[in-house]
Each structure stands twice: as structure tokens, then as C-alpha cells.
Chain A
Amino acid sequence: MWRARLLLLVIVAVPAVVVVAVVAAVAGGAVPALATAVVLLVTTAFVGAALHGRYRSWRYAERDEDLLIQRGLMFRRLSVVPYGRMQFVDVTAGPVERVFRLATVQLHTAAAATDARVPGLDRAEAERLRDRLASLGEARAAGL
């Protein structure tokens, strides 16, 4: 998934850098143009590294009774969702994900605060996960 996002970032950033550099060159001369270009490139590199870190750190584990999802480098979060508490599972794919044939799986429980999402899964894997979660959820369903 990070590759997808990184590619998008590069596609957007490079023309922007070029345009800004050209404008700065026209307006101020060679030195400001170079400085602006350097600054923008460095920023892009940072954002790219952050994206890489973010998506690399996203992990999930299907255990016997619940699903574990861990994400984040700076703000580490771990979500535990018991299968019996799952209300429904949906698989969505935004435009970026569709281009790369990826999908996001999200679990919903009765609590609004549950944030159990796994983005950037391969589409086949996402559907396998959804089917497995749906059957496990049914098997262990509990009422409210």
C-alpha cells in the first residue's frame, strides 16, 4: 500500500516542484529557484518516509477468538476485536487502491469507537479475510 501512496505522492510532487522552481526562477533568479526546489524535494522525501513507515507498521493477526490489529510508529495502537462482537465486515477500495488492485477491510461492532481497519490488502486476500471473519463472527455471535 505504501508503494501506491508513494507513487501517487511522487506523481503529484515532481510536477509541482518543477512548476514552483520555474516560477521562482522567473520571479527571482536562479538561486531562489534552487533553494525552493531543494526545500520541496526534502519535504517530499520526508513525507515519503513517513508514509513508508506508516504502512509498513500496519499488521493484523487472526487469533482463535479475536482479531488483533496493530498500527503506527509514533502513536502505536493495538485493537482487539472479539469475533463474537463483530456486526459486519466491509471491503472497500478507493480510487488509488482500485488502480493497484488493493482493498481495505473494516470491521464494525456496536461501538462507534472501534477502529479496526486494514488498508492496502491484496484484493483476493481482503475477500478471504472478510469471508473468514464473517463466518467466525456468525459462529460466535453474542447479543447486545
Chain B
Amino acid sequence: MVVGLRQVGSHGRQPLWIDGAAVGFALLAGLISWLVTRWRIHNGELQVETGLLRRQSVRLPLTRLQAVDVVRPLLGRVLGLAEVRVVVAGHGSSRTRLAYLSDERADSVRAQLLALAHGLDATTPTAPERPIVTVSGSRIVAAALLSTPVLLVLLAVVAAIAVTVVEPRAGFAALGVLGPVALTIGLGVARHIGAEWEFALAESPDGLRLRAGLLQTRAETIPLARLQAVRVLEPLLWRPLGWVRLEIDIARRRDHDRAEHESTTTTRALLPVGPPDLAHWLVKRLLPGATVDQPAHSRAPLRAFLRAPLMHHHLAAWHDTRYVACVTGRLRRATVVVPLAKAQSFRWVQGPVLRRLRLATVHVDTAGRHFPGTALLRPADEAAAWVTDLPVLARAARRGVDGIHQL
């Protein structure tokens, strides 16, 4: 905000007191917001009151607690402060953030909230975690650099340098254009690396705990009950090294503010980069009984080549009584596993070209927003059988998990 004001006034001579006033205003706003925010844990609820002019009072029942996360932004790490974010089922707005407690206080509050959520005494210490996966920083860096945008930028820079040698003016122009593009991509890569640095996954009594971060560190709980789909990605550039990436899709509320959006895009990865057998083991841990290995006869028939020549070698889909798995992708092979208990609706689509080829596509819709289950280009009779069988299996699967009223 201070920088913005400075830019605006850069035409004339900006008196210094305007800058000072802007900084002072920002500090004052922060101070007021900190002063008027009061919270306490009382009667099995977390009560938070904020706002100076318009008071907002939020009461979160701790029995519906899904996750308590501790986030340490860069400045907070320097000053020894942390932020506690509380996620309660059905209420994921930004008000449930206790900003900037001291480190030990944040951890003790987290332990207290978790103990109360499980119905134990408030002074029970957190149960120890058992680490199951760690990914070193160097591997994260290597994986981030081996991505398509980085490769394209490198190739473009090399080409531009080659052109410069031959024809200097055109080469410099090209480099001038490439500069901002490379910078943007570089920043994106750096942010990605920073968010997933030293990734560690641990098993604890209240689910899976995820720790990551370079400048801003976060310790999050993955609410497994809201898991909608799981995806295993195998990019082409990682194939020689034998790395895969595992992502999960969790149903969240639609309105979330900017900071949560950033963490959502990188929280999705449960294994940012790792060997395939580790990914398969994690999939089995998240979805008991699911397989990621393709059974025979699950590949798309040969005539699907006419409709999707670039994807044909990857296309496959299969299901059992509890899960549907679909494989798609051109250069990057993506395997999506959807638990039938979470399927929201099923759609069967057949255009005129597909009708001629006796193929059809079946979509399994989930409440997650990032990767739906799409069984592309299956034989028509198999697709018809799926649309008949899958709703029945889904109902049986839903009844299997009923009794636990999942929120």
C-alpha cells in the first residue's frame, strides 16, 4: 500500500509526510485489528469476536473441528510468531484465524483445541506423530525445474542467444521480450519450491499431518473424511527419473480468500515428487482397497485412436465395487481414482462421431473442483453397463460408510 501511494504521487515531488502517514495508517489499522480481536475457548466452543465498528462474533463448536493448522509466515518466523487457522465443518471463512500468537502459545492452543475436539481433557498433550514420508529440498528443486514451462523458457533463451550471435539486434530484442516471461516463470517456480520445501507427511491420531515450506512454513491436517478424489501424475520429463506426483482433491467451501487459495493449490499435493511405489502405498493408505495398477482389458479400444490419437496410448478406465479409476493425458499420464461413496452424479455423453465409432464417455462427478473422473472413449456397451451399475454400487458404498455422519 505504501509502495502504491508512492507510485501514484511520483509525478510531482512527494512530501515525505505522506509516505510516513501511509505507513502509520497501516500500522494503526493492524494494531486496532489486533486490539479488538478477542477469542477464548469456552464451553466446548471457540468464540472469536472481531471488528471495531461492526462487531462480528463467531462461535465454532469444537466437536465439528476438522483441522487446526499452524502457519508461520516469514516475518512471523523472524519474530517468533505463528498463526493458528481453525477449519470447522461447514464454516471455512477467514474469520477463524487467530493471528500471531507466540510459537509455544500457538502449539499449546492447537493441542488444547484438538484435545477438546476429541472430548478429552483440555490439558492432554498432542499425541506424537509418526513420520511416513519426507521429501528433501533438493528433490523438490529438481522436480520443479524439470517442468514444461522451465524447459520451454530455457530453450527459448538458448535460441535467442543463438540468434544474437548471428544477428545482434534481433537477438537482443528477443531477449528483451523473454526477460519478463522468464522472470514470471522463475517467480512461479520459486514460489512453488518455497511452498513445498522439505515436505514431510506424518501419521497422527487425528489424520495425516503435512509440514512444508521454506519462507512460510505450514503444518496442516488433511481432513481425510472430505477426500473426493486422488490423482497420480506422471509427467514425461520425470519419466527417466521414475518420479510421480500424488495429488488429492478435498471439498472446500466455495468462498475462500486469497491466502487460502494459494495454500489450496499447493496443499493438493500429498507427495510432491517421489517413487511410484511410495505413491501407490499412499493411495492404498488413503483409499483402502484401491489399486493404481491397470488390470487387463481396461485400455481404450483401438478405434478410439481415431478420435484421440495423442491420448490413446494412455486412455484406460476400470472400476471395482468401491472405486472408479480413469487414466487420461497426452504427455503427462494422469490416473484419477474416485471413491464411489463420494460420487455425486454420473453422466454419459456420446456425440455423433463417437456414435459412429461405437464409443461413449462416462463422467463421474465429484464435489472436488480440480480433477473429475472421466472415463473417455469406452466401448458403447461397456459405457452403458457402467451407467447402470455404478449408481447401484455407489449407493451400496454410501451405505457402507453411513452411520458416520460425515461433514
Give the contact stretch, choosing among A9-17, A52-60, A78-86, A123-131: A78-86
Give the contact stretch, choosing among B73-81, B169-177, B319-327, B361-369: B361-369
A78-B348, A144-B251 as given contacts; A113 in contact with B372, CB under 8 Å: yes
Interface positions, chain A 76-110, Cβ under 8 Å from B, are 76-82, 84-85, 109-110
B349 near A77: Cβ-Cβ < 8 Å: yes
B365 near A109: Cβ-Cβ < 8 Å: yes
B44 proximal to A (CB < 8 A):
no
A75 near B395: Cβ-Cβ < 8 Å: no
Give the docked Cα–Cα distance between A82 and B341 (Å). Answer: 11
Interface positions, chain B 377-398, Cβ under 8 Å from A, are 387, 390-392, 394-395, 398
A66-B391, A144-B226 as given contacts; A75 in contact with B406, CB under 8 Å: no
Other-chain contact of A113, B365, B405, B406 (Cβ < 8 Å): B365
A74-B352, A80-B346, A82-B345 as given contacts; A142 in contact with B367, CB under 8 Å: no
Give the docked Cα–Cα distance between A85 and B387 (Å). Answer: 16
* Residues in chain B near residue A109, CB distance under 8 A: 344-345, 365, 367
B349 near A85: Cβ-Cβ < 8 Å: no
Give the docked Cα–Cα distance between A96 and B367 (Å). Answer: 33
B391 near A75: Cβ-Cβ < 8 Å: no
Give the docked Cα–Cα distance between A113 and B338 (Å). Answer: 15
What distance in Å separates the Cβ of A111 from its nearest Cβ neighbour in chain B? 4
Please name the residue on chain B nearest to A116 by beta carbon.
Answer: B345
B347 proximal to A (CB < 8 A):
yes
Instruction: Tell me the count of chain B residues lying within 8 A, CB to CB, of chain A.
Output: 31
B367 near A81: Cβ-Cβ < 8 Å: no
Give the docked Cα–Cα distance between A142 and B348 (Å). Answer: 23
What distance in Å separates the Cβ of B153 from its nearest Cβ neighbour in chain A? 33
The interface residues of chain B, by DSSP majority, are classed as mixed
A62 proximal to B (CB < 8 A):
no
Give the docked Cα–Cα distance between A74 and B351 (Å). Answer: 6
A110 near B347: Cβ-Cβ < 8 Å: no
Other-chain contact of A76, B251, B345, B350 (Cβ < 8 Å): B350
* Residues in chain B near residue A78, CB distance under 8 A: 347-349, 387
Chain A 6-28 interface mask (CB, 8 Å, partner B; 1/0):
00000000000000000000000
Residue from A76, A114, A142 whose CB has the most chain B CB atoms within 10 Å: A142
What distance in Å separates the Cβ of B84 from its nearest Cβ neighbour in chain A? 25
- 9 A-B pairs whose Cβ atoms sit less than 8 Å apart in the complex: A66-B391, A75-B351, A77-B348, A78-B347, A78-B348, A85-B343, A115-B347, A143-B406, A144-B407
Known: A112-B369, A114-B344; 17 extra A-B contacts, CB below 8 A, are A74-B352, A76-B351, A76-B355, A77-B348, A77-B350, A78-B347, A79-B345, A80-B346, A80-B347, A80-B348, A80-B390, A80-B391, A109-B345, A109-B367, A113-B372, A114-B365, A144-B367
